[in-house]
Every structure is written in C-alpha cells, then in structure tokens.
Structure 1
Amino acid sequence: MTNELVLVRHATCARMDEMLLGRTVDAPLAEIGLREAEAMAHALDPHHETLIVVSPRRRAQQTASAIAARCQGELLTSAAIDELDFGHWSGQTFSELAHDPAWRRWNEQRNLAATPAGERISDVQARVLDHLQRLCQAFPGRPMVLVTHAEVIRAALLHWLQAPVAAYRRLAISPASMSRVSLSDWGPCVDSINLRAPL
C-alpha cells in the first residue's frame, strides 16, 4: 500500500524575514502569502479524499485552509508537525540572534546543537516520522497534504534521502513550496523537492 504525501511549507507570513517566529509569534500570512496559498491550492488540486494535516501555527492553518477549501477535504491539526521549539530565541530578530554564540553554534553544528528549549533535529525527525507512520497505518492508501514548517520538512527529507543532519543547508525549503514523497511497503521515494506554484 502506498501513501502519496505532499509536504507543504506554509506561505509567506508577516515579519518572517526579520524575526525568528518559532512557536510564540503567531504571525498571519502576508498579502503575498494569501496569494501563494491560493496558488498552491490550485496547483495541488486535491481530491475530496485528501487528508490535510496541519501544524497548530496560524501561518500553517491559514495555508491549509486555502487548500482544504479547494477540495472540501478533511483537516486535522497535529502538534507532531509543529514548528521546532526554539524556546526564548522565538520572537528575537535575526540581527539580535547574530550576537548569540548558541545561535551561531546551532547554525554551524546543527547535528550536535540543541535549541534553548532542548529540541534537536533528531527529535524533530523522530516525532515527524513516527507520526507519519501512524498516519499511513490509520489511512492506508489515502493521499495526504502536510502543511508545516521548513525545519520539519527538511528533517524528514534528510532522513528519507539517507543524508546526515549536517547537510541541512543543501536543501532549500522555500515558503509556499511543495515536496512530494511516496511512502510504501518498499520504503520512501522522494519524487520532488521545493516546487512552487506560479502566482
């Protein structure tokens, strides 16, 4: 049995280029983000049986709502695909974070470092992959769209590509991007990474 998955990064939201939003700054989609979400919904053209699983963050919820409206699909909120827990880094500007040695270490040694909340990329991989396994068992053969965050998508793709966490810079996961993966009894097949719908 094969589950076709589309991993969607939420569309562009307010202040995302200047600030680490994390879990504490629940920014809405920017005007361009609303257009991106609509464009993705049309590009995906999901079937009414598509299960849409979404992070609790507002930016992901708004993106998922546009997709769900396209097909009247079932929408399921899941903390298992929530944003990485950045602890007190959340809400700080990138210029402020640049002076923090722990932030620099996080970006230079992602395979070894943890956020102030104690979460590591290996933790993210574990929670996401475990959740996906349970979803595929609960909904065998059902197509799914997961609307989540860059680090969550990147962590899962690195695992499926058998690449080390330290290689995270090699994978671009843009706002409003789509990555397609097939999960079957024979293992994962990554079909495409970081595709964007034209506006």
Structure 2
Amino acid sequence: MATALLVRHGRTTANATGILAGWSSGVDLDDTGREQAAALAARVASLPVVEIVSSPLTRCLQTTDELRRGAWSEVPVTECDDLGECRYGAWTGRPLSELAEDPLWRTVQHQPGAATFPASSEYRHESIRQMADRAVAAMRGIDARVEADHGPSALWVAVSHGDVIKAILADAAGTHLDLFQRFTVGPASLSVVRYTAARPYLLRCNDTGEDLGGLAAPPATSEASEGGAGVVGGGV
C-alpha cells in the first residue's frame, strides 16, 4: 500500500503567543517555524514523494512551500478542507490561559471524544469526534487514490495540524479517541502511516530529528500544559 507522511506545520505566531488560532486568518509561520519547516525539507528531500495534500490554512501552505523549495519543486499540491484544523467555534482566537479556566477544557483534556466546541456567529464549530472522522476518512480516501494512481510503493505527504494528526495517529494505532491526548505532534514533526487491507501501521510518530537531550527536562505540572501538542495546547 502507499505510505503517508504526515507533517505538522511549523511554529506560528499564534503558537508563540499562546493563542488558539483555529480557522482565523492572518496566522503565519514565525521565523522559528520557517526554520523548522526548512530543516524538515532538507531531511526528506531524497524521498520520491508523488503528491502533497495540504490543509488550506496559510500556515500549512507556507510549510508546504518550504517542502517544495528543493527536490520537491515539481511535486503537485492539492488542498483538502477535511485535513484542516479543528473548528473551534467561539474558542477561536482566544488565549489558551483563558480557555484553561473553561469547564470544557477538562473534557477536552480527559474525555475529548465527548467534547463539542461552542458555536459562534463568526467561526464554524464541531466536535472532536467530527474532526477525527472527517480527517481519518480523508486520509484513507486520498491514500487509496494515490495507490491507484502511482502504485503500492508510492509516498505522499499530508500537511496538517497537531490535533488533526493526533486523531489520525490514534486511529492508525487502534487507540480510542478519548486517549488521543497521549500522542504528541510537535511543530514541523514527521509521522508516518501505512494503510493496508488488514490494518494501518504506525511507522513513525513525532519525528523531529532533534537532539534527544531535551527528554531529560522535567515534565510540565500545570493542567493548562497537558497534552503537549494537543487540543488547545499545540494544535493551533
């Protein structure tokens, strides 16, 4: 079967300032995010990728541009709304420190499959379950098309968001959605899934190619930091 490389966008201005970006406009990669994306591009440049499918949001398209600056300059790019960020509704654009005081935060952290984001007149909203269902369906559909077009050894790239990728990885690992906060998906990280007729295989998760010394750092203790790159943590 074809193999899917899942790339999270690089760090953004919203990540750096602790804002839940969601589908709000004007959220770009910052200097660090561009450097992260460029470093990832250098690591994967030798892979014979046949297609890139990206979330339509600017931060993902900017990451895609970095991936295509080198050996992938001729690789076709398509956009897919179903790989777009979770629709956070009234939570969109608000500080994470403020959202952490909302009772819904605990549901998002501890039972995400039961969480639905509040409605807004400006931004669409959905449940985490709805987000997961549309993202997983999109991945499986795109993967089947890529294999049909390019054969079972084809490699393709999905550029998306932390929470979306976590939902895809949870499905690939056979993990209940309520446990998807156990996955970490950092900025410009690479995860790899191969779908087969029998089952998906999770080949790689949150690979950033960085020095492992940071693993010795003490873990965060505040609930507001739970989930690392999770919903309203790093999935912005």
Q: Which amino acid in the other structure matches residue 85 of structure 2?
A: E
Moved segments of 4+, more than 6 Å: none
Per-residue Cα deviation, 1:108-133 (whole angstroms, up to 9, x for no partner): 32121111145222212221222122
What is the identity percentage for the equivalent residue pairs of Structure 1 and Structure 2? Answer: 26
Instruction: Tell me the TM-score normalised to structure 1 length.
Output: 0.92
Per-residue Cα deviation, 1:90-113 (whole angstroms, up to 9, x for no partner): 100012212222233322321211
Contact between 1:25 and 1:90, CA under 8 Å: does it hold in 2? Answer: no
Q: How many Å separate the matches in 1 of 2:80 and 2:181?
A: 26
How many pairs were matched up? 198
Q: How many Å separate the matches in 1 of 2:111 and 2:91?
A: 17
Q: How many Å separate the matches in 1 of 2:89 and 2:54?
A: 21
Higher relative contact order (CA 8 A, sep 6+): 1
> Could you say what secondary structure the match of 1:167 adopts?
helix
Q: Which amino acid in the other structure matches residue 4 of structure 2?
A: L
Q: How many Å separate the matches in 1 of 2:198 and 2:50?
A: 22
**What is the RMSD of the two structures over their aligned residues, measured on CA atoms?**
1.8
Offset at residue 186 of structure 1 (A): 2.9
Per-residue Cα deviation, 1:40-64 (whole angstroms, up to 9, x for no partner): 1111115565210100111111001
1:193 corresponds to: 205
Q: Which amino acid in the other structure matches residue 36 of structure 2?
A: E
2:90 corresponds to: 88
Q: How many Å separate the matches in 1 of 2:197 and 2:178?
A: 28
Q: Which amino acid in the other structure matches residue 173 of structure 2?
A: L
Moved more, 78-87 or 25-34: 25-34
Q: Which amino acid in the other structure matches residue 138 of structure 1?
A: R
Q: How many Å separate the matches in 2 of 1:41 and 1:24?
A: 26
Instruction: Tell me the TM-score normalised to structure 2 length.
Output: 0.78
1:68 corresponds to: 68
